[in-house]
Amino acid sequence: MSGRHGRPEPHDSEPHDSKPHDSEPTGGSVEAVDVVLGPLTTLRVGGPAARIIEPQGEPELLQAALDVWDSGDDWFVLGGGSNVVISDEGFDGTVIRVVTRGVARIVAPSGTVRLRVQAGEPWDELVAYTVEQGWSGLEALSGIPGSTGASPIQNIGAYGQEVGDAIVSVDFLDYGTGRVERIARDDLELAYRSSVFKHGKRGVVLSVTFSLTDSTAQDAASDMPGSLALGDPVAYPQLATALGVAQGDRVALGAVRQAVLDLRRSKGMVLDATDPDSVSAGSFFTNPVVSENFARGLPAAAPRWPVGGEDEALVIALPDPASGLSVDLGGPLPASETGAEPRVKLSAAWLIEHAGIGRGFSLPGSRAAISSKHTLAIVNTGQASAAQIAELSRYIQNRVSAEFGVVLHPEPGFVGLF
């Protein structure tokens, strides 16, 4: 192929012992022009794309991405649309929409299951499948919208599990080289809602390989349904309470999944056509991580949890204006916040609510609002614009920083905004 990218070299193969939950790609690509992007996102905002292409299989996805890159067009990758806010003006370029499907089981050590999952596989369908099979490691991530390919980018996590704990590797088409890489977990730079893909590594996730525990193997003589096999130890207090067990106890996978879905639904965090609070991008802000010393100056009632490990993301605590320091809200951290001082994670929802922004809050004349169920979600109450979503986001950031000196960072990606 001509242009700055050559044809990608195939990545190394691994033996397959079966291909369950099989969704064979039909091949080819679907293309269209002037497609309104809002309906392809969970927030339902966003104007038209000049062009959108939906490759149906991995080979087509590879070739389509290389062709777009060689064309010189602006581009971005869209998966399930659950973690993005697209401007009302849309996107004057090519959107590569990842819809590839398929889950392949590959050879793995005894007692474990290894799955290679195409990037377009819907995340919650994958989780439901693993629970049905009796494979633990993803059950607490039930109900999260979006596609599998987005899961390592955001290092999604909930109720005591993070996807990074189950990832073995990611197959990735690199924009800089035009080649397919198999990136091992240790090279993904996984951190709290972050990864190497959020720090300059551009391209397309093709597939993700997971290692799960075969919980059915612990009772080989049993023919019980997989959903009755025990999951990972329950690590999150709210989930333990919902299940009526102590932290560290193990509970049937199906029970964990149902409890997580119920908890998420109570917060409007499960996509549901009958729930207007689910027209959102989920949690709109990450929980800030600040120094323990800074946290001592917050109200005693402010929830906080100790943080360990060097890979935790640090969210800025604003310096005292008298110090003469200044902080770019979207820029690097001040040097004084990068030391080894103990750190704690704060509750973004608590900070928002105690900055005077309650559930259901909206700015005058705006159709963007705080969810009536959870202060951490911004919802489209009907015909909201991306500009209104962004305006409410900035308002929340300003109120929280003025009240507590902490900058909240949005979780979704923004296209054509800011």
Are the C-beta atoms of 295 and 304 separated by less than 8 Å? yes
Dist. CA 256–CA 130, nearest whole Å: 13
- Structure-token pair, residue 372: 């009536």
Dist. CA 178–CA 7, nearest whole Å: 7
Are the C-beta atoms of 117 and 103 separated by less than 8 Å? yes
Which phi and psi (to 5°) does residue 307 adopt?
Answer: -120, 140
Catalytically active residues, by annotation: 193, 283, 411
Dist. CA 334–CA 347, nearest whole Å: 22
Closest CA to 8 of 203, 154, 192: 203
- Structure-token pair, residue 240: 């333990």
Are the C-beta atoms of 412 and 82 separated by less than 8 Å? no
Dist. CA 276–CA 347, nearest whole Å: 24
Which phi and psi (to 5°) does residue 295 adopt?
Answer: -65, -25
- Structure-token pair, residue 317: 């605590």
- Around Cβ 79, how many Cβ atoms within 10 Å? 24
- Strand 75-78 with 91-97, pairing: parallel
Check residue 152 and report its DSSP letter.
Answer: H
Give 380-385 contacts, CB < 8 A, sequence gap 24+. Answer: 380/43, 380/44, 380/45, 380/279, 380/280, 381/276, 381/279, 382/276, 384/43, 384/44, 384/45, 385/45, 385/88
